[in-house]
C-alpha cells in the first residue's frame, strides 16, 4: 500500500543535559535547566511510548535548548539563549556544527529518503508546554500545531482532535494553540523543502500538568498513539 504514510517522531527539546565543555557556562543555573526553559519535561518519555506503540522511529535531541534551540531557524533571534548569545561567532558556529545541524540533518535526511522513494511522510514533533507562562494560564491539555495552508495537515489534525475527544473524555484539545504551527520551527523548515503531497509536519504540544506522574503520562501516551493511528488511517 504505497499511499499509506510513513510516520516519524522527533523531540527537539527532549533533554536538559549539557555537553561537558559547556557546563561552566551554566554554573548556578540548576533550576533554570530543570524547568520548562531548559527542556520540555515529559515529552521524551511520552514520545518513546508513542514510538513503540506506533513502530515509528524517534529522533530526539541530547542537550538543552538553552545551549541552542533545535526548533528555531538559524536566523531566529531566540536560536541562542541568554547564556550562549554573547559567545564569539566562531564558538557559535562550532556549537551549531556539533549540537544543532546533526539533529536537523538527521530528520531531514530521513524525510528526504522516504520522499525520494515516493512515500508520504507524517512527521510529528513531540513537545510539552508549561501550564502557566508569564502569569497567564494556558487553557488546553493538548495542542495540535499545523500550517492551515497545507490541507493534509489541517485534515489530519481535525481527525486526530476528533479521535482524542472521543477517546480522552474530558481532554481539552485545541488546534494551533498555544502556538501557531506556521511559526518558525523545524516543521516549517521542512515544509519549505518538501511538497504538501510528500510531507506533513505536525507539532504535538502536551500540557506539562498531564506529564508529571509516570502512570498518567504513560496512559496519555498510549491514548495519543492510538488516536494518531486512527487519524492516519482515516
Interacting residue ranges for Zn ion, rule: CB under 5 A: 13, 40, 127
Shortest Å, Cβ 226 to Zn ion: 23
Choice between 13 and 104, CB closer to Zn ion: 13
Q: 214: which residues sit within 8 A by CB, 6+ positions away?
A: 45
Shortest Å, Cβ 75 to Zn ion: 19
Per DSSP, 5 falls in state P
Instruction: Give the phi and the psi of residue 215 in degrees, each rounded to 5.
Output: -65, -45
List the grid coordinates of 73.
Answer: 531557524
Shortest Å, Cβ 13 to Zn ion: 4
71 neighbors 186 (Cβ within 8 angstroms): yes
Choice between 13 and 48, CB closer to Zn ion: 13
Q: 212 in helix, strand or coil?
A: coil
Choice between 11 and 122, CB closer to Zn ion: 11
Q: 39 in helix, strand or coil?
A: coil
- Residues 200 and 7: their CA atoms lie apart, in Å, by 10
Choice between 13 and 138, CB closer to Zn ion: 13
Angle at 53 between CA 149 and CA 4, to 5 degrees: 45
Shortest Å, Cβ 77 to Zn ion: 17
Angle at 10 between CA 216 and CA 40, to 5 degrees: 50
Shortest Å, Cβ 215 to Zn ion: 23
129: number of Cβ within 10 Å: 21
Q: Which residue is nearest to Zn ion (CB)?
A: 127
Shortest Å, Cβ 126 to Zn ion: 8
Choice between 40 and 147, CB closer to Zn ion: 40
Choice between 44 and 49, CB closer to Zn ion: 44
Farthest CA pair distance, the chain: 54
Choice between 127 and 175, CB closer to Zn ion: 127
- Residues 85 and 82: their CA atoms lie apart, in Å, by 5
- Residues 200 and 121: their CA atoms lie apart, in Å, by 6
Shortest Å, Cβ 152 to Zn ion: 23
Amino acid at each position: 500500500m504505497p499511499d499509506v504514510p510513513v510516520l516519524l517522531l522527533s523531540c527537539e527539546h527532549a533533554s536538559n543535559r549539557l555537553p561537558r565543555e559547556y557546563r561552566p557556562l551554566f554554573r548556578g543555573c540548576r533550576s533554570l535547566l530543570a524547568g520548562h526553559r531548559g527542556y520540555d519535561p515529559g515529552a521524551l518519555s511520552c514520545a518513546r511510548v508513542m514510538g513503540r506503540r506506533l513502530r515509528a522511529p524517534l529522533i530526539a535531541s541530547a542537550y538543552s535548548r538553552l545551549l541552542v534551540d533545535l526548533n528555531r531557524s538559524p536566523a531566529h533571534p531566540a536560536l541562542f539563549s541568554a547564556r550562549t548569545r554573547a559567545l564569539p561567532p566562531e564558538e557559535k558556529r562550532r556549537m551549531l556544527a556539533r549540537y544543532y545541524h546533526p539533529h536537523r540533518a538527521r530528520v531531514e535526511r530521513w524525510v528526504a529518503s522516504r520522499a525520494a522513494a515516493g512515500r508520504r511522510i507524517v512527521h510529528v514533533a513531540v513537545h510539552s508546554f508549561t501550564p502557566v507562562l508569564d502569569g497567564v494560564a494556558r487553557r488546553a491539555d493538548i495542542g495540535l500545531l499545523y500550517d492551515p495552508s497545507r490541507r493534509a495537515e489541517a485534515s489530519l489534525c481535525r481527525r486526530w482532535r476528533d479521535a482524542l475527544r472521543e477517546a480522552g473524555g474530558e481532554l481539552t484539545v485545541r488546534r494551533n494553540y498555544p502556538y501557531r504551527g506556521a511559526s518558525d520551527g523545524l516543521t516549517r523548515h521542512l515544509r519549505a523543502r518538501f511538497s504538501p503531497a510528500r510531507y506533513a509536519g505536525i507539532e504535538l504540544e502536551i500540557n506539562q500538568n498531564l506529564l508529571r506522574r509516570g502512570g498518567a503520562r504513560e496512559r496519555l501516551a498510549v491514548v495519543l498513539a492510538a488516536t494518531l493511528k486512527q487519524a492516519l488511517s482515516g
